Structure 1
Amino acid sequence: MKNPGIAAVLSFFFAGLGQIYNGQIGKGIGFIVAYFISVLLMFVLIGFITTPILWIWGMYDAYKTAERINRESSGAL
């Protein structure tokens, strides 16, 4: 069982960490790389739009994925 709150909080502190907690290593690394690129894009101003979007999307995705994992595992029992 995965705790959706923990997944969201991990993504709050570091983008992609919630996905890694959920067992989605590739997706988590993708979020980390995308977030890093987005932070670099702040030098050309577009990053000020993309960085918060990626950050919020990462938290939402981690939370919803943890819920889905729990729903699927409880349905299989």
Structure 2
Amino acid sequence: MAKNAILAAILSFLIPGLGEIYVGKIMIGIILVVIAIVLSIAIYTVSFYAWILYIIIWLYAIYDSYTNAKATQKTLKTE
């Protein structure tokens, strides 16, 4: 089933990794959610570096979920 790429990106915007879980990449999604939680906690102790890493993970999760959802749409159109 084709997944909505915009919805996947919005889910990852809200919680990094949630879009990957929606698309079907469950393991990478869980890993990203855990990393986001750990970095959220680390922001209070190592603020500057944790913010930078969190933003990188957050942007990667949005991009990855969007491209994976688009890839599922393309594979279904060619079949």
When the two structures are superposed, what TM-score results if normalisation uses the length of structure 1?
0.90
Spell out structure 1 runs of 4+ moving beyond 4 A: none
Could you tell me which residue of structure 1 aligns to residue 28 of structure 2?
Answer: 27
The gaps in structure 2 that reach 5 residues or longer are none
**Amino acid in the other structure paired with 1:35:** A
Match for residue 70 of structure 2 among 56, 67, 72: 67
Deviation per CA, 1:11-45: give whole Å up to 9, x if none. Answer: 11111110011011111101101111222222113
When the two structures are superposed, what TM-score results if normalisation uses the length of structure 2?
0.88
**Amino acid in the other structure paired with 1:4:** A
The gaps in structure 1 that reach 5 residues or longer are none
Could you tell me which residue of structure 1 aligns to residue 19 of structure 2?
Answer: 18
Deviation at 1:74, TM superposition (A): 1.4
The aligned length equals 76
